[in-house]
Structure 1
Amino acid sequence: MRVPLSFAALLLLSACAGESADREERSVTVVAEPVELLAEEEVIEAIGTARATRSAELYPEVSGQVRKVRFSAGSFVQSGQSLIELDSRSERLALRLAQVRVKEAEQLLSRYRRIEDTGALSESQIEEGETALAAAQIQRDLAQDALAERTIRAPFSGHISLSEIDVGDRVTPTTLIAQLDQRSRLFVDFNAPESVFQRLKPGGTVEVVPFSKPDRTIAAKVEAVDSTIEQEQRSYTVRSLISNQDDSFRPGMSFSVRFVGSGQLRAAVPEASVVWSGDGSSIFAVRDGKAQRVPVTIASRRDGLALLDAQVEKGTLIIVEGVQKVREGQAVELVKPMERPAAQVETEPAQ
């Protein structure tokens, strides 16, 4: 008996459909883990330059010939210490003359005071004596200032730089004597992108590594940030502070700066759980005992984890092993995962 071809085709299709249904109903064993939420890290690396917390270029206030040099290059000087003395013979004589005139004016006014009650002097003569004394005192003070200007003193304590000034040199107010730096602490200035402006603020911390000592990492406190954003580079200047009590570093040295900021919270899954197809990347979530495809975009990677841009809630079970053998809607059977070390995630201390 011959079976019609159309009937045979129907039987074959029915058998295939039954076999497909069996495959869909047949579960596969997989390993699943709950999703964790981790803050996305934003790493900023820059080059910083050190500068002294206080620095001054020293110039003489007046012209003159150098009579004494009272410092050596690189030495530490105290605030107010005499560094350079200029020829001051004329100023000393002028001060002595002013002091004599003050003494004369004081003696004259004293005599006026003694006979004031006798009526021998008018009130205007007494006032003239007082005015003469005040004028003499002003001349004395001016002479003292002129003499003080012949000595260049340290405005604050610090280390003095090299100098080309020698005894006998003629200097003017435009002659650089030396530079004075207070370097027990150093500022390290660097540029940061506008994107971290809300996270990199005074009170925060960055890591700096000196180029001269690449094996040394220093935690630097952010002291201040610039008040404006540089328009062309879309960045701003950040000033951090490091200790230099051992005097290891110098102003002008270069430092590598690194800042790790915590950004948006994202679903974190093992990289092996992400599958790729013609439609892009996705993961399989376990819902009601079945595998459900969830489209994702990988925002970043860290320590073997993929941080996802996706609608995945914390605690959602994600297939992490056996993902290549599951299909959309397929029943899954969960097995206990093998123990593996947890990913170590470095986080910045809360500020």
Structure 2
Amino acid sequence: MLRKLILTAIAISILVGAIVYAKLGQFAAMGKAAESAVQPPETVTAMTLESAQWEQSIPAVGTLEPVQGVTLSTEVGGRVTQIAFESGGTASAGSVLLQLDTSSEDAQLASAEASAELARADLARVRELGKRKLASQDAIDRAEATAKETLAQVGNIRAIIAKKSIRAPFSGRLGLRLVNLGEVLKEGDPIVSLQTLDPIHVDFSVPQQQLGRLKQGMAVRVSADVAPDETFAGAIIAVSPEVDASTRSVRVRALVSNPGERLYAGMFAQVEVMLPDEEQVLPIPATAVLYAPYGDSVFVVEARKNDTSGDAERVLRQQFVRLGRARGDFVDVTDGLKAGETLVTSGVFKLRTGMKVVIDNKLAPNASLEPHPADS
């Protein structure tokens, strides 16, 4: 019995040893294959760095204001007899927008005109009598005063009648109608807003450190959410002579063209004050930067000769850089790179120093200085 157990143990040991030997041989073969295997090069997109000239600007946030804007109201009370405008329409300077009832004033005007005519006739008779020495100077003075008083009454009534015709003080776009036909208005009741929108003002604040760079007449560019694909050109027309003590900023006003009146008063807008000097920069796409807490870096493509085959190949070198201001899809590199170097522009998170690469720009990102992404 003991002999059988010994023989069984020996057989099992031999079998296990054979299996282990076979596996060790397989592992050794796999190791040799891995050592001899060559990793295929990574496909990347790349660009050759070139210096450029960027416009210098001062960014700001502004509010659009009408060049002229007012809410029309009545100077005198009365009943509305005619409305000559529609909500959202346009009005020309001097055009009648609303008419109040003037029936009582018309009757008073007729009476006042008759009194004035009689006073003029009386004055003429008294002056004729005065020439004949039949009327005193006192009578002549009284007749002249009466004539002037009646003429003043006529003028006063005509002024009241004129005030009951509400006219547009300037040309512009009308807002929403706030009155109805037949409504009795009191003095000061609002009727409709009237605003001049083309051109339009944009008011914005600039830090006091930039005050010395601002000049009247400087060009500005304005953009707003209502027209994401457009920029509106204008120029600075005024710089406030005082600095806000709480924000240490100065108020600036620019006049901006607004064709089609797409910009409305009260809108939020992005403003760029264009400075006359241009800046020398070395722009790279923002997608080329590997951002990290310890420092931002990029991957530079370098050409070298393979030690084994002697063939030319491209390998990567990680380069730490210092970044400047951004514009659109680009960012300026102030230190670490120079013009003429080849830079990987996308997929940098999967790269490392010494990796072999092949350049294929068919799927390169389309970077722009003024991107306008479509709504998703």
TM-score band, normalised by shorter chain: 0.5 to 0.7
Matched, 1:134 2:162: no
Q: Secondary structure at the match of 1:83?
A: strand
Residue 120 of structure 1 aligns with which residue? Answer: 134
Residue 79 of structure 1 aligns with which residue? Answer: 93
Aligned-residue offset at 1:307: 7.6
Matched, 1:306 2:334: yes
- C-alpha distance in 2, partners of 1:301/1:144? 66
Q: Is the 8 A contact 2:218 2:275 kept in 1?
A: no
In structure 2, what residue type is equivalent to 1:137?
L
Aligned-residue offset at 1:257: 1.2
Q: Is the 8 A contact 2:54 2:278 kept in 1?
A: yes
Matched, 1:184 2:198: yes
Aligned-residue offset at 1:242: 1.3
In structure 2, what residue type is equivalent to 1:57?
T
Q: Secondary structure at the match of 1:228?
A: strand
Aligned-residue offset at 1:139: 0.9
Aligned-residue offset at 1:225: 1.5
Residues 211 and 112 of structure 1, relative CA distance in 2, 3 Å threshold? same
- What's the TM-score, normalizing by structure 1? 0.63
The percent identity for this pair of structures is: 27
In structure 2, what residue type is equivalent to 1:78?
S
Question: Bigger shift: 173-182 or 244-253?
Answer: 244-253
RMSD, matched Cα = 3.3
Q: Is the 8 A contact 2:232 2:258 kept in 1?
A: no
Deviations 1:277-307 (A, max 9, x none): xxxxxxxxxxxxxxxxxxxxx8956865528
Matched, 1:249 2:263: yes
- C-alpha distance in 1, partners of 2:56/2:163? 55
Q: Is the 8 A contact 2:202 2:253 kept in 1?
A: yes
Deviations 1:151-191 (A, max 9, x none): 21111111111112111112112311011111121011111
In structure 2, what residue type is equivalent to 1:198?
G
Matched, 1:196 2:224: no
Matched, 1:167 2:181: yes
Residues 163 and 320 of structure 1, relative CA distance in 2, 3 Å threshold? closer
Deviations 1:134-156 (A, max 9, x none): 11111111111111121211111
Aligned-residue offset at 1:209: 1.1
- C-alpha distance in 2, partners of 1:90/1:270? 77
Matched, 1:144 2:158: yes
- C-alpha distance in 1, partners of 2:261/2:270? 19
Deviations 1:31-88 (A, max 9, x none): xxxxx9x999865322222121111111100111111111111111111111111111
Question: Bigger shift: 112-121 or 154-163?
Answer: 112-121
Residue 244 of structure 2 aligns with which residue? Answer: 230
Greater per-residue helix proportion: 2
List runs of 5+ in structure 1 lacking aligned partners.
1-35, 272-297, 309-318, 322-345, 347-351
Aligned-residue offset at 1:114: 2.2
- C-alpha distance in 2, partners of 1:165/1:69? 9
- Matched ranges for 1:1-351 at <5 A: 43-259=57-273, 261=275, 300=324, 305-306=333-334
Residue 3 of structure 1 aligns with which residue? Answer: none
- What's the TM-score, normalizing by structure 2? 0.59
- C-alpha distance in 1, partners of 2:131/2:239? 70
In structure 1, what residue type is equivalent to 2:75?
E
Question: Bigger shift: 97-106 or 116-125?
Answer: 116-125
Structure whose alpha-carbon radius of gyration is higher: 2
Q: Secondary structure at the match of 1:155?
A: coil
Q: Is the 8 A contact 2:206 2:250 kept in 1?
A: yes
Residues 265 and 184 of structure 1, relative CA distance in 2, 3 Å threshold? closer
Q: Is the 8 A contact 2:218 2:273 kept in 1?
A: no
Q: Is the 8 A contact 1:220 1:241 kept in 2?
A: yes
Q: Secondary structure at the match of 2:195?
A: strand
Q: Is the 8 A contact 1:223 1:239 kept in 2?
A: yes
Aligned residues: 251
Q: Is the 8 A contact 2:67 2:200 kept in 1?
A: yes
Residues 108 and 299 of structure 1, relative CA distance in 2, 3 Å threshold? same
Aligned-residue offset at 1:201: 2.4
- C-alpha distance in 2, partners of 1:235/1:304? 27
Q: Secondary structure at the match of 2:243?
A: coil
Q: Secondary structure at the match of 2:106?
A: helix
